[in-house]
Structure 1
Amino acid sequence: MGEARRRAAQGMPPRQPKKANTKALDTSPRVVSWLPLTRNQTQQFMAVTTRGAWIGIGAMVVLWITVRFIGPAAGWWTLSDTP
């Protein structure tokens, strides 16, 4: 038995068609009239790049600590600046 017949037999209303994927439109003003970038997009870009920069700084600190302290202490290598 099909879905439509089953719903009709049970006295249920027909199934409503699925709504199209309606994304919320970005209604914020453009930065420049001829450039398709809105202010919300520029704020999102700044947030993502700032987060990426901090992740890069953290990774660099971890790498430096590993090269300078952990590696020599574990005997993986010796530093050239130590006598």
Structure 2
Amino acid sequence: MGEAKRRKEQLGEEYGKDQPILPMLPITKKQSEQFVRWTTQATWIAIILTIGFWITLRFVGPGLGWWELAD
């Protein structure tokens, strides 16, 4: 008998359902993967916005007279 068949018989109705990461936490493996994907995207967006803000302050701002850097 194959491993998948044995597991299916052993789990019964629970077979194929998302399993929690830890028994005490109501977070499934799929939810944790989605969380990691979301936070990774949010981090890259924050990095890009920070670089854009820095470029604006460092190069564009003084050229437009927003403030002058000390000599």
**TM-score computed with the length of structure 1 as normaliser:** 0.62
Deviations 1:9-61 (A, max 9, x none): xxxxxxxxxxxxxxxxxx22110011100000000000111111111101100
Query: 2:65 aligns to what?
Result: 75
Which residue identity lines up with residue 52 of structure 1 in the other structure? A
Specify every segment of 5 or more residues in structure 1 that has no aligned partner in the other structure, as ranges. 1-26
Q: Which has the larger radius of gyration?
A: 1
Specify every segment of 5 or more residues in structure 2 that has no aligned partner in the other structure, as ranges. 1-16
| Segments ≥4 residues shifted beyond 4 Å | none
Q: What's the RMSD between the two structures over aligned residues?
A: 0.9
User: How many residues in Structure 1 have an aligned counterpart in Structure 2?
Assistant: 55
Tell me if 1:56 matches 2:46.
yes
Which residue identity lines up with residue 30 of structure 2 in the other structure? N
Matches for 1:4-23 after TM superposition, within 5 Å: none
**TM-score computed with the length of structure 2 as normaliser:** 0.72
Counterpart CA distance in 2 for 1:60 and 1:79 is: 20
Identity %: 40
